[in-house]
Structure 1
Amino acid sequence: MMTNQTETTSKKPTHSAYILKPKANSEQSDWIKVGAAWNHGDKDGLNLSLTILGQNVPVIIRRNKPKT
Structure 2
Amino acid sequence: MKNRNHTSRPTHNVYVVEGEGDTAFWTKVGAAWQHADGEGLNLTLTALPLNGRLVIRVPKASDEQPNGKAGR
Identity %: 44
**SS of the residue 2:10 aligns to:** coil
Please, which runs of 5 or more residues in structure 1 have no aligned partner? Answer: 54-68
Please, which runs of 5 or more residues in structure 2 have no aligned partner? Answer: 49-72
RMSD: 2.8
* Residues 1:20 and 2:17 are matched in the alignment: yes
Structure that is richer in strand per residue = 1
Runs of 4+ displaced beyond 6 Å: none
Deviation digits for residues 9-63 of structure 1 (CA, Å, limit 9, x no counterpart): 88111111111134xxxx611100001100112222111101125xxxxxxxxxx
Structure that is richer in helix per residue = 2
- So what's the TM-score if we normalise by structure 2? 0.50
The number of residues matched between the two structures is 47
Higher RCO (CA < 8 A, seq sep 6+): 2
Partner letter of residue 33 of structure 2? W
1:31 and 1:46 map into 2 onto residues whose CA distance is 20
2:3 maps to which of 4, 7, 11: 7
In terms of Rg, which structure is larger?
1
